[in-house]
């Protein structure tokens, strides 16, 4: 398990300052905000330069947070989403950052769950195909249905329909969310088909190798 600096906690810092802070505070990685990272690039910064600084500090980029919103379905908006994903995937590869977070918001509020699942998975699959060409994986933060569905089973449901290697989930560990996920994971652990990796939104990450891990550690040790 690695402890990484989440750049939302250093909102007004630039990327290079965050590298220094992460090093000085003994973090083992950084979760960069997409807006800051793109601003760094737009001002003439190079992904390779930032990568070198991260490597020298011993704080590699672990995630870019986030490509948002991903629930864009109109023709022009959807095309813009794909172009943003292409640019971000290429930049993430240059940074040596393996993961981009996808955030789906509330565009499909009011739609029945099967339609939400289908359209969400459809967009996620397209984005995953773009990222794959650059060696980039994605983690899913399911804001869109967190209040409508039991979150963890719904997350897995979308990933299965997506039929892509959505290799991580993102879970917000506020106390209320933690309690909810605790119950859901404990129940879900009884399903022998569970093979779901999870990533803490704040970049405290681990891999769930399968049902044995869930039964052994559950959520209470996290």
Would you say residue 175 lies in a domain? no
Examine residue 28 and state whether it is found in any structural domain, yes or no. Answer: yes
Domain range for 144: 4-167
CA 17 to chain centre: 23
Q: Does 118 map to a domain?
A: yes
How far apart CA 128 and CA 64 sit, in angstroms, is: 14
What contacts 220, CB < 8 A, 6 or more positions away?
182
Question: What pLDDT is recorded for position 28?
Answer: 95
Q: Domain for residue 221, yes or no?
A: no
Q: What is the pLDDT of residue 42?
A: 97
Does 48 reside within a domain?
Answer: yes
- Our count of domains for the chain comes to 1
Residue 218 lies in a domain: no
pLDDT given at position 177: 47
Does some domain include residue 68? yes
pTM: 0.77
Q: Quick one: pLDDT at residue 144?
A: 66
Report the pLDDT value the prediction gives residue 169, as an integer from 0 to 100: 57
Q: Which of 171, 214, 173, 176 is nearest to 192 (CA)?
A: 214
- Residue 61 gets the label, from left (phi > 0), alpha (psi -120 to 50) or beta, of beta
pLDDT of residue 194: 46
pLDDT the model gives residue 143: 72
Do the domain assignments include residue 71?
yes
127-149 b/e (C-beta count within 10 Å ≥ 16 → b): bbebbeebebbbbbbbbbbbeeb
Task: Find the CATH number of the domain harbouring 26.
Answer: 3.20.20.150
Residue ranges in the chain modelled with pLDDT below 70: 142, 144-153, 165-222
Q: What is the pLDDT of residues 181-200, one digit of tens each?
A: 445 444 544 443 444 444 43
């Amino acid at each position: 398990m690695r402890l990484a600096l989440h750049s939302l906690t250093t909102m007004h810092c630039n990327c290079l300052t965050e590298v220094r802070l992460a090093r000085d505070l003994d973090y083992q990685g950084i979760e960069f905000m997409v807006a800051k990272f793109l601003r760094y690039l737009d001002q003439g910064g190079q992904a390779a330069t930032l990568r070198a600084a991260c490597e020298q500090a011993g704080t590699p980029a672990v995630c870019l947070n986030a490509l948002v919103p991903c629930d864009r379905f109109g023709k022009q908006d959807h095309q813009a989403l794909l172009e943003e994903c292409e640019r971000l995937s290429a930049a993430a590869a240059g940074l040596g950052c393996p993961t981009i977070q996808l955030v789906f918001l509330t565009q499909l509020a009011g739609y029945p769950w099967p339609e939400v699942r289908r359209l969400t998975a459809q967009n996620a699959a397209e984005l995953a195909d773009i990222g794959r060409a650059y060696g980039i994986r994605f983690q899913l933060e399911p804001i869109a249905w967190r209040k409508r569905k039991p979150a963890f089973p719904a997350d897995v449901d979308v990933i299965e329909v997506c039929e892509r290697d959505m290799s991580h989930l993102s879970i917000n560990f506020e106390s209320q969310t933690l309690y909810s996920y605790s119950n859901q994971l404990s129940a879900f652990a009884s399903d022998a088909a569970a093979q779901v990796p999870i990533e803490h939104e704040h970049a405290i990450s681990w891999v769930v190798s399968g049902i044995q891990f869930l039964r052994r550690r559950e959520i209470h040790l996290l």
